[in-house]
Amino acid sequence: MKVGVLGATGYAGQELVRLLKRHEQVNDLYLASSSVAGEDYESVYPHWSGQNVGILQDENVPDLDVLFCALPHGLTAARTRAFLARNIKVIDLGADFRLNAADVYEEWYKIKHPAPELLKQAAYGLPELYREQIRGQSLIANPGCYPTATLLALVPLLRNKLLQTKFLIIDAKSGVSGAGRGVSIGTHYSEINENFKAYGVGNHRHTPEIEQELSRAAGQALTVNFTPHLVPMTRGMLVTIYAGVQSGVQEQDLRQCWLDQYEQEAFIHVLPQGTWPQTKFSSGSNHAFLQLTLDPRTGNAVIVATIDNLIKGAAGQAIQNMNLVMGCPESQGITGTALWP
């Protein structure tokens, strides 16, 4: 396959390069960056020295089979019609096609949607939940990192009517790489080191994406309390969810629901009782880990999920989607366990 990456020098873009370079079906890799076009990739990321990754191109996209777009919101949607007209499959790692309604996008992202007519064509790219809708499609909306961890935990339970829908609290933590490679005071070392903070409280842009897909699973509109936090580590994501359960539901009912959904999945792991997810379990891999308990004092479920925000939360999942779109083995190029310690 001939594959391209727009935004190849960002953190998600670099992870795409790392994974695509070892993908057996990718024999031609076009890498583009509007900011450093003409420079050798190794000059931007010296850890690639001696591996002949190539020269970064401008964003005049050649003929490709698949194009990954790791760009700020608004930039991908403005060009997607032209890519699709050239029979290029588009996998957007940004937010442009994740929301079904243009007005919701415009409310949360504060720009006019450049291509609202394409929203109905986009498949939401979370393979373990929507595999058949993704397979063979031309436009994939790669989910956000927070929604990925949250939806893997909650969607099966909501589909099976095991949870109450009026009480859903999502308490999420991410490593700093989730903020991207750009320099800002909020991610400056002196501000982040030995610090722990909530941000985007009540207005984080992943909120409508989470609510959209949870409502889809529940068969009714619902809202959630979603609060993200920034923790002083480079990568990783851990989400703790508090949920009321329906009358008569037991812990084993919740666990069996997960097992029924995920027991054949290569990347999703329901941990043995008593083993709680840690971010290191998934660091550098496309794997997700789940655990839950039903608190006997409160009668509420406590659910924990962890992923690597740059892999299952971005680049690894994007390649998983590419494999489905192009008819490759789904795990091709993204196998392997986490680094430990």
Tell me the pLDDT of the chain (341 aa) as tens digits: 999 999 999 999 999 999 999 999 999 999 999 899 999 999 999 999 999 999 999 999 999 999 999 999 999 999 999 999 999 999 999 999 999 999 999 999 999 999 999 999 999 999 999 999 999 999 999 999 999 999 999 999 999 999 999 989 999 999 999 999 987 898 999 999 999 999 999 999 999 999 999 999 999 999 999 999 999 999 999 999 999 999 999 999 999 999 999 999 999 999 999 999 999 999 999 999 999 999 999 999 999 999 999 999 999 999 999 999 999 999 999 999 999 99
CATH 3.40.50.720 location in the chain:
2-142+312-326
**What Rg, from alpha-carbon coordinates, does the chain have?**
20
Helix (H, G, I), strand (E, B) or coil at 297: coil
Domain 2-142+312-326 has CATH 3.40.50.300: no
Active site (catalytic) residues: 145
Domain 146-309 in this protein, CATH class: alpha beta
Position 182 scores a pLDDT of: 85
Contacts of 35 (CB under 8 A, 6+ apart): 9
- Asked if 147 and 210 count as a contact pair (C-beta separation under 8 A), the reply is yes
Structure tokens at 186: 């909020």
In order of 65, 218, 285, 338, the CA distances from 269 in angstroms are 32, 23, 13, 13
What residues are paired with 197 via a beta bridge?
Answer: 230
In order of 6, 84, 96, 205, the CA distances from 323 in angstroms are 18, 18, 21, 28
C-alpha–C-alpha distance, residues 324 and 319, integer Å: 9
pTM: 0.97
Contacts of 85 (CB under 8 A, 6+ apart): none
CATH 3.30.360.10 location in the chain:
146-309
By residue count, the chain amounts to 341
Q: Which amino acid is residue 267, in one-letter code?
A: F
